[in-house]
Amino acid sequence: MRTLNLIILSLLFNLFSTTMRAQERKQYDVAAYLYPAYAYNDPRLRPFWPAGMGEWETVMNMQQRNPGHYWNRRPVWGPINEADPAIMEMEIEQATKHGVNVFIFDWYWFDCRPFMETTLTDGFLKARNRDKMKFYLMWANHDVVNTWDTRISNLDPGNVIWQGSVDRDEFERLCRRNIEKFFKQPEYYKIDGKPVFMIYEVTTFIRGLGGVEQAKDALKWFRKEVKKAGFPDLELQFVAYGANYNYSGVDKDKGKMPDDLFMKGMGFNSLTHYQFCHFVWMDDEYENIAKKAEAEWARLDTTFTIPYYPHVSIGWDNSPRIVHSAKVRNNTPAAFAKALRQARNYVDAHPEQAPLITINSWNEWTETSYLQPDNVYGYGYLEAVKEVFVDQK
């Protein structure tokens, strides 16, 4: 009887310890960038991808265009239409199950109107389970060149189709629209009640507004409009960079990283990265790249007085668009999980900040940096996120 009692006490103690550990688990905001080009029947996408399936066309016909090329990735879920709310419901379920609880939508505005927006408006915002997931916008305000259209990308890769810059009137119009259409959504991601809005290319933004002082004034106006809409303030986020090797074909040389005085003067509240390729040479082993990224986190943390939120990229290989691409090597799910743990440690060491980690990406197939399951690692990258942020191993 005494032995039985000891066994029961031991089981109860283990159960209590497990419960306490579960309660002690920290909550993290794991935010994956979502590239909204995998939408069907969007007429604005057809000039680049006439098949009507968005940039899946570039992914799926890679071998046809380049027979025998090593790049032959295939999505386990198939070439899904992410502008379909039923598809997005499945994605939200899989994302949140594995610990991804924020989507950062790459958001575009070209030719005086939104571009690639249907994945957000028709997919995410019409998904029945959207309340499980937060989202916010990264204004991808780079110029559009021939890179997206593989039929002509080799003819004049620098040809500008649309400029990413906007003038003051256009900036005010798109800001008012975003405040009403997106910021007021209950799922919009906020830090201390402040809606987060990220700007991809600040140099392009400044050029469109006509100079630094004009850009500052426009951002002050934006902040006032956000407050007028009932929010305590705006959380304006900067995309950090370093040496830019223009791997993607659309990024231009962003020049020197601005200093802390410039960042505060412009009104930025925080910064993160979009991709490792913006500051690290990518034709290397993933482990080496991740170590350099961690060193950059530490540098930014000591250089800037505004918070830096750690970023982890999964990989890089832009072969579907640019056949002779730099390629990250040995970016296995295990190596990715190790980098995620370093990001988690960074967040744990900065309890005064939001527990935000950004990941590139949910679905950048043409850049080979995606969490979605594929024919190489299956669900491996998603399982890595779950292991680090849900199971917290």
pLDDT recorded at residue 184? 98
Q: What are the residue ranges spanned by the domains of the chain?
A: 27-390
Distance CA 68, CA 252 (A): 31
Q: Using an 8 Å Cβ cutoff, are 47 and 149 in contact? A: yes
Average pLDDT score, the chain = 93
What's the token pair of residue 233? 């303030």
Topology of the domain covering 27-390: TIM Barrel (3.20.20)
**Mean per-residue pLDDT, 52-80:** 97
Q: Would the pLDDT of 366 be above 90?
A: yes
Q: Would the pLDDT of 13 be above 60?
A: no
Euclidean distance between the first and final Cα of the chain, in Å? 37
Burial class, 71, CB count within 10 angstroms (exposed 0-12 / middle 13-18 / buried 19+): middle
Which pLDDT band, with edges at 50, 70 and 90, does 246 fall under? low
Which pLDDT band, with edges at 50, 70 and 90, does 155 fall under? confident
Specify the range with the lowest mean pLDDT, choosing from 155-159, 264-268, 333-337: 155-159
Looking at the chain, the whole-number percentage of residues with pLDDT higher than 70 is 92
The DSSP string of 257-273 is PP-HHHHHHHT--EEEE
Query: How would you classify the pairing of strands 311-313 and 102-110?
Result: unpaired
Q: Would the pLDDT of 185 be above 90?
A: yes
Strand, coil or helix: 327? strand
Convert the pLDDT of each residue in 113-143 to its tens digit. Answer: 999 999 999 999 999 999 999 999 999 999 9
Which pLDDT band, with edges at 50, 70 and 90, does 225 fall under? very high
Convert the pLDDT of each residue in 88-97 to its tens digit. Answer: 999 999 999 9
Q: Using an 8 Å Cβ cutoff, are 279 and 273 in contact? A: yes
Query: How would you classify the pairing of strands 102-110 and 113-115?
Result: antiparallel
For 221, other C-beta atoms within 10 Å of its C-beta total: 14
The larger pLDDT score, comparing residue 24 to residue 176, is at 176
> What is the SS3 string spanning 46-58?
CCCCCCCCCCHHH
Convert the pLDDT of each residue in 188-197 to its tens digit. Answer: 999 999 999 9
Burial class, 315, CB count within 10 angstroms (exposed 0-12 / middle 13-18 / buried 19+): buried
The residue type of 153 is S
Q: Would the pLDDT of 247 be above 80?
A: no
**Mean per-residue pLDDT, 317-322:** 94
- Residue labelled with tokens 């006490």: 9
